[in-house]
Amino acid sequence: MADNNAIFEHVASTLAELFDLDRSEITLDSHLSEDLDIDSIDAIDLIVELKKYVGKKISPEDFKSVRTVGDIVNAVSELMDRPV
């Protein structure tokens, strides 16, 4: 199981690659829409990539309250802790 630092590194790298962002500007406090200009369509692309990382189905409910990169890290951590 990955720890939150490893999850953050993966999420930040994925965000940078998918959306052509500067990796050094992505922090746990980065707000997805305000700081990173990620909209709901982009979020779907991100969820598809995260599903590969988590290895489990991700429902929209799992990410309903996600607003920051830190929220993504917490959601992914919770998903990884769930039994299959």
Of the chain, the percentage scoring pLDDT greater than 70 comes to 98
Q: Residue 40 — very low, low, confident or very high, per pLDDT cuts 50/70/90?
A: confident
Per the structure, the count of domains in the chain is 1
Predicted pLDDT of residue 27: 98
Predicted pLDDT of residue 63: 87
CATH assignment at residue 49: 1.10.1200.10
Q: Residue 1 — very low, low, confident or very high, per pLDDT cuts 50/70/90?
A: low
Q: How many CB atoms lie within 10 A of CB 35?
A: 15
First to last CA, the chain: 13
Domain with 20, as residue range(s), is: 4-81
